[in-house]
A and B are shown apart, each in its own frame.
Chain A
């Protein structure tokens, strides 16, 4: 059964964004857009999250924080880069302290461009991420099964 795509819990992190995209992310939770319709919940805890929604171009100071958060999230997980800064660094890309895009630090699955990204776009990005999340879950279940089968064949080989 695939419950994962019916219950994506989102962790939102501002990696040196101008706050424009963050306001749009929070707008998704308001009665107008109400993403809880899709079972989405905004959690504050990486250990409870399935989707990392991240804005801004990452600077040298929060680079480690982003890596740390990503590491703490249990598999399967997806990363959505929201806004043009998160995708490429945007207008800040030539700043001395800007790393320039989330994919310079952690693997990104979905890019949602825009300055600022509109709530409709963000929801569309999350829905796209859900199918990727589902693929990752299936792959994870698949590898777990093959690993188990390998173990069984090994054990069978030992016993004979």
Chain B
């Protein structure tokens, strides 16, 4: 028991970049097919990151490298805690802190593009933060534990109790995966958003670190989706795949919205979550008192 948590964390730290990169490659391939194109090779994301490490390092302020490294480390840490079966609340706080570091990195440079990206990243943070905490609370109400290790082995089908919370979570997942219609702070592949938003002033190995952190982040988030279905691992894996395919589909059929709409959507998702939790609290209370 003392060792199993460590195995999960180490496996995540080693395998997540590989899985995350492959998922990004599959994503780009499917996106290309949806647009009637052939698309890049499957390993394209690895070529891109490899290329970025080969480039000259252009640094505006050395502080930005420190902040981006902190972003990478805290994303990896929150993911490692998750796969070690740690406390969901601690994981979410480490996850938020990571993004604060990214925002600070973008603010460290005196570039208007970078600052607009940083402001929009903060808006995104405000948009998704309520919902991600509600998701943790919902899983706690169903399984009576904030520990991922307990939630993952729970035999209760959490999704049946938390359909609203899951829908809300999937909505903010679009924000987190940096996909349309909510890719306002920075965006994927060839899409442009005010030059490239928060990553404008990052180049070479610094940009590569942002990319690797994003791979870690995606694997962690897909793991979070799995928790809703963890009573049956087969259904869980299928649900994760279907969710991601749906995200790619939404990315391709929607246009980018303004930041106000992104914020409203994030909070609407949170309202959906709260209603779900209120109903759940009522039902659970009813069951405990035996209907008296």
Looking at A42-50, A81-89, A98-106, A113-121, the stretch in contact with chain B turns out to be A42-50
Q: Given A39-B44, A76-B56, are A47 and B36 also a contact pair (CB < 8 Å)? A: no
Q: Are A36 and B190 in contact (CB under 8 A)?
A: yes
Whether A47 touches B190, Cβ cut-off 8 Å, given contacts A34-B37, A37-B40, is: no
Residue in chain B with minimal CB distance to A1: B50
Q: Residue of A at shortest CB range from B49? A: A3
One of B44, B51, B189, B199 near A4 (C-beta < 8 A):
B51
Contact A48-B196, Cβ < 8 Å, known A4-B51, A36-B32? yes
Classify the secondary structure of B's interface with A.
loop
Q: Is the CB of B47 within 8 A of A44?
A: no
- Answer whether residue A7 sits at the interface, using C-beta atoms and an 8 A cutoff: yes
CA distance A7 to B58 in the complex (A): 19
Q: Which residues of B contact A7 (CB under 8 A)?
A: 44, 47-48, 50-51
The answer to whether the Cβ of B39 comes within 8 Å of any Cβ in the partner chain is yes
Contacts of B35 in A (CB 8 A): 31
Q: Please state if A41 and B56 are interface contacts (CB–CB under 8 Å).
A: no
Evaluate whether A37 and B203 lie within 8 angstroms (CB atoms) in the complex, with A45-B195, A74-B58 already known.
no
Chain A 32-70, CB-CB to B under 8 Å as 1, else 0, gives: 001011110111110110100000000000000000000
Contacts A45-B195, A74-B57 given: A6-B190 contact, CB under 8 Å? no
Query: Is A123 interfacial (CB-CB < 8 Å)?
Result: no
A78 to chain B, nearest CB (A): 13
A31 touches B44 (CB 8 A): no
A135 to nearest B CB, angstroms?
13
Which chain A residues lie closer than 8 Å to B30 at the CB level? Answer: none
Q: Which residues of chain A come closer than 8 Å to B196, judged between CB atoms?
A: 43-45, 48
Q: Are A39 and B41 in contact (CB under 8 A)?
A: yes
A91 adjacent to chain B (CB < 8 Å): no
Q: Tell me if A75 counts as interface (CB < 8 A to partner B).
A: yes
Q: Number of A interface residues at 8 Å Cβ cutoff, please give it.
A: 28
Residues A37 and B54 in contact in the complex (CB < 8 Å), given A7-B44, A43-B196, A45-B200: no
Tell me the nearest residue of chain B to A10, going by C-beta. B190
Alpha-carbon distance A38/B53, docked complex (angstroms): 19
B239 within 8 A of A: no
| CB contact list, A1-47 vs B, under 8 A | 1-4, 6-7, 29, 31, 34, 36-39, 41-45, 47
Contact pattern, B 12-24, Cβ under 8 Å of A = 1, otherwise 0: 0000000000000
CA–CA, A50 and B55, complex, Å = 9
Query: Contacts A31-B37, A39-B41, A48-B207 hold; do A140 and B51 have CB atoms under 8 A apart?
Result: no
Q: Which residue of A lies closest to B45 (CB)?
A: A7
Q: Is A137 an interface residue (CB 8 A)?
A: yes
Answer whether A6 and B51 are a contact pair too, CB < 8 Å, given A31-B35, A36-B32: yes
Name the one of A34, A36, A42, A44 contacting B195, with C-beta atoms under 8 angstroms. Answer: A44
CB-CB under 8 A from B48, the residues of chain A are 3, 7, 39
Task: Verify if B204 is at the interface (C-beta below 8 Å from A).
Answer: yes
Instruction: Compute how far the CA of A76 lies from the CA of B37 in the bound complex, rounded to whole angstroms.
Output: 29
- Nearest opposing residue in chain B for A37, CB measure: B38
B201 on the A face (CB < 8 A) = yes
Contacts of A43 in B (CB 8 A): 190, 192, 196
Besides A50-B55, A72-B58, 18 other CB < 8 A contacts?
Answer: A3-B51, A3-B54, A6-B51, A7-B44, A29-B190, A31-B36, A31-B37, A34-B37, A36-B39, A36-B190, A37-B38, A41-B189, A44-B196, A45-B196, A47-B200, A48-B196, A50-B51, A75-B55
A-B contact pairs, 12 of them (CB 8 A): A1-B50, A3-B48, A6-B44, A7-B47, A36-B28, A37-B39, A39-B40, A41-B189, A44-B195, A50-B51, A72-B58, A75-B55
Listed in ascending order, the chain A residues whose CB lies under 8 Å from chain B are 1-4, 6-7, 29, 31, 34, 36-39, 41-45, 47-48, 50, 72, 74-76, 137, 140-141
